[in-house]
Amino acid sequence: MRIAHISDLHLCMKFKRHNILNTIKLIRHALNNGAEHLVITGDISDNANDADFVIFRDILKQFNLLRPDKATIIVGNHDIFGGPQTAEDVYKFPQKCANTDYHRKLYRFIEHFRELFENTYRPTEEVFFPFVKVLDNILLIGLNTIDHYSKLKNPFASNGHVSKTQRKLFSQLLHRPEFKDKTKVVLAHHHFYKKDASTSSSEKTLWDKIEHFTMKLRGKKKLLKLFTENNVKLVLHGHSHEMMEYTRKGITFLNAGASIDSAVEPKTATYLIDIFPNLIKTNLSSVEAHLVAEPPILSIVGVE
Ligand SMILES: [Fe+2]
């Protein structure tokens, strides 16, 4: 089966209209190149607006992808908390995050894409993460890595965490004997590497430090242990806006965070992943993007 993995679309009718055009272009490109299933690992919207979710729902519908066997989606921090979109927003953003009803926003997100959660294995009818979806010999396991807002630990609501309960449910869901020989693929929003790992401490800029503090996934070690114990072969994620393939503990990781909203590449890109019973082949495929000049407002606070 060929899976197309894209992430961080940051759709926004008001401020990022070109992202909508680029998303349509990229999905068409993926389908023309043989993608049989589309995976989107969060930050579908830029500001958690219902109108932008409706736009993406319509895009999926147009391509006949609003079906559980054709597309799988997980939530990103922007889908719950949004992000600062103007210079003025930057100062108000922490208070906005503090006032956000996390569970209500999560439920709204799921409601917009309810069809994609059909035919999934879940802890209960009302709990949507973690979920397991069977696609032939593949198991897609969707996680919610979005941490709650905290004035000290998560001041821009962009850090990640997977609760102990969710980790326990993950193992329980995978315990079914019929899942034993399937290729296990985890979908998460946050990245599993330190963005500034290659930089020595003295070279780190204030920007690096802020970014590290506001973009990290807490409890990575516990998650990696969970993945190896459950024989996970591949992890698909986004959040950090770069395209990147890397390995951790023998598991392949793909970051498709710069599919659409890249600050450096004038291209849109998708990973095309061929999954065979004992082999996974990954291929980065890109198309020219629609370019619209915009002031780089978001980059000043390190929130992606
Ligand atoms: Fe994100």
* Cα 8 to ligand 1 centroid, rounded to whole Å: 7
Lowest mean pLDDT among 59-63, 82-86, 101-105, 284-288: 82-86
Q: SS3 of 69, please? A: coil
> How far does residue 260's CA lie from ligand 1's centre (Å)?
13
What digits encode the pLDDT tens for the residues 197-230? 455 555 666 666 666 677 889 999 999 999 999 9
Q: What is the H or E stretch that residue 5 is in?
A: strand 2-6
pLDDT of residue 299 exceeding 80: no
What are the pLDDT digits (tens) for 13-35? 988 888 999 999 999 999 999 99
Q: Which residues contact 109 (CB under 8 A, 6 or more apart)?
A: 48, 53, 75, 79, 80
Mean pLDDT comparison of 89-93, 116-120, 154-158, highest-scoring range: 116-120
Say how far apart CA 260 and CA 242 lie, in whole Å.
Answer: 10
**What's the gap in Å between 171 CA and the centre of ligand 1?**
25
Ligand 1 centroid vs 158 CA: distance in angstroms? 6
Residue 45 CA, ligand 1 centroid: distance in Å: 10
- Topology of the domain comprising 2-300: Purple Acid Phosphatase; chain A, domain 2 (3.60.21)
Q: How far is the CA of 237 from the centre of ligand 1 (A)?
A: 10
Ligand 1 centroid to 288 CA: how many Å?
23
User: Which residues have a beta carbon within 5 Å of ligand 1, which is an ion?
Assistant: 43, 76-77, 239
Question: How much distance in Å is there from the Cα of 179 to the middle of ligand 1?
Answer: 30
Dist. CA 189 → ligand 1 center (Å): 7
Q: How far is the CA of 26 from the centre of ligand 1 (A)?
A: 19
Does 170 have pLDDT greater than 80?
yes
SS3 26: helix
The more confidently predicted of residues 85 and 277 is: 277
